[in-house]
Amino acid sequence: MGVNKGAFITFEGIEGSGKSTQIKLLASYLKKEISKKIFLTREPGGTVISEKIRSLVINHLNQKSNPLTELFLLFAARAEHFDLIKQKLKEGYIVLCDRYLDSTLAYQHYTGSIPLKYINYLQLLIDKNQKPNLTILLDLHPNVGKKRIIRRNKKLDRFDRESVEKMNLIRKAFLKIYKLNKNRIILVSNNLSKKEVQNNIRTIVLKYLNK
Ligand SMILES: Nc1ncnc2c1ncn2[C@@H]1O[C@H](COP(=O)(O)OP(=O)(O)O)[C@@H](O)[C@H]1O
Ligand SMILES: [Mg+2]
């Protein structure tokens, strides 16, 4: 099977929902079986400057920071990152991005204080309506996600420390976004083994790539 067209595929979901695990498994599978041109990236991040902004957002902002500071930092990171994504798509890469626009909507709008119209406007300035082709929304009960985060071998950051109640609100926000964007987003339960979830994701992605 050979695929030459580029594709922009994003992974979304609450902390602990399995995005990073599944996107890495998918990237190695696609690289081995489908195309050498796989670009695995993440938000916030993905370029030197955007990774610096990621560190600011994750390690230096806190509950008391102005929500607009976070919003502008996230979009500043995205402006840099999207140039790279666009370039990769033009070169025929399959771009796999760990979190993207739906995270901004879930955190900054649905469970935050930023009106939707401003997020849409800033996004449009950056992407000129070049949206992801496909989004995998990993869904998991926050209780399970929380347990997995605590067991994960990584220092906890401010997002990992979020309460189960807040995680539940974010989960509901993602589900709302899913209902409004069923043409683009596919809901995948992560309440199965890593392998079973990966198989489900592969089926969805291959179906999209072969369309
Ligand atoms: N299906 C699964 N079953 C059990 N543990 C899982 C599963 N998927 C992921 N995990 C574990 O849960 C933790 C969180 O997964 P991760 O991929 O880091 O989530 P995210 O990137 O969405 O925050 C990791 O330690 C990972 O190994
Ligand atoms: Mg992750």
Any idea what the CATH number is for the domain that residue 180 is in?
Answer: 3.40.50.300
Question: Domain range for residue 65?
Answer: 7-209
From first to last of its 211 residues, what are the pLDDT tens digits of the chain?
Answer: 444 679 999 999 999 999 999 999 999 999 999 999 999 999 999 999 999 999 999 999 998 999 999 999 999 999 999 999 999 999 999 999 999 999 999 999 999 999 999 999 999 999 999 999 999 999 999 999 999 999 987 889 988 999 999 999 999 999 999 999 999 999 999 999 999 999 999 999 999 999 8
Task: Give the global pTM.
Answer: 0.96
Q: Given the CA of residue 191, which atom of ligand 1 is nearest to it?
A: 1
Within a 10 A sphere around the Cβ of 174, how many other Cβ atoms?
A: 27
List, as ranges, residues with CB under 5 A of the ion ligand 2.
Answer: 19-20
DSSP string over 89-139: HHTT-EEEEES-HHHHIIIIIITSS--HHHHHHHHHHHHTT---SEEEEEE
Q: Which residues pair with 42 in a beta bridge?
A: 98
| Pocket of ligand 1 contains residue 24 by CB under 6 Å | no
**Does 99 sit in the ligand 1 pocket, CB within 6 Å?**
no
* CA torsion through residues 121, 124, 129, 134, sign: negative
Ligand 1 mutation target, pool 137, 152, 159, 190, most atoms within 8 A of CB: 152
Helix (H) or strand (E) holding 72: helix 67-90
Task: Report yes or no on 1 lying in a domain.
Answer: no
Q: How many independent structural domains does the chain possess?
A: 1
Q: Is the CB of 103 inside a 6 Å radius of any atom of ligand 1?
A: no
